[in-house]
Amino acid sequence: MNPWVSVAKERQRQEEKWGQQDHEPMMWMGILGEEFGELCQAVNETHFDNGPEARKKGGYENMREEAVQVAAVAISFIEALDRRYGRDDE
Ligand SMILES: [Mg+2]
């Protein structure tokens, strides 16, 4: 699937699950940090051999899924920033 489509679908899924999110920027760092941590885990479990159970959290599919989630959360953060600070000039 085209990466942009993957991110758009994930962004839509998040919107349906949680609705509009207007957190403080510091809260966004926690949310984005968690997603980035999950991406790090997927990459680590691809790179390192921590046994067969840990390996299930790695690999192409998991790395891609987590990267898409990071991108979708970043977009949601941008949307919240634009609402908060009025930047909507494009
Ligand atoms: Mg994730």
Centroid of ligand 1 to alpha carbon of 82 (angstroms) = 23
Please state, in angstroms and as integers, the Cα–Cα distance from residue 41 to each residue in 8, 58, 59, following that order: 23, 7, 10
- The 10s digit of each residue's pLDDT in 75-86 is 999 999 999 998
Centroid of ligand 1 to alpha carbon of 15 (angstroms) = 15
Centroid of ligand 1 to alpha carbon of 86 (angstroms) = 29
Instruction: Burial-class residue 81 by CB neighbours within 10 Å (0-12, 13-18, 19+).
Output: middle
Instruction: Burial-class residue 36 by CB neighbours within 10 Å (0-12, 13-18, 19+).
Output: middle
With cut-offs at 50, 70 and 90, classify the pLDDT of residue 58.
Answer: very high
pTM of the predicted model as reported, rounded to 2 decimal places: 0.91
Q: Is the pLDDT of residue 30 over 70?
A: yes
Centroid of ligand 1 to alpha carbon of 89 (angstroms) = 30
Q: Is the pLDDT of residue 90 over 90?
A: no
Per-domain residue ranges of the chain: 3-10+23-85
Q: Write the CB contacts of 43 (distance below 8 Å, at least 6 apart in sequence).
A: 58, 63
Query: Cα–Cα distance between 78 and 64 in angstroms, integer?
Result: 21
Centroid of ligand 1 to alpha carbon of 6 (angstroms) = 14
With cut-offs at 50, 70 and 90, classify the pLDDT of residue 87.
Answer: low
Centroid of ligand 1 to alpha carbon of 1 (angstroms) = 18
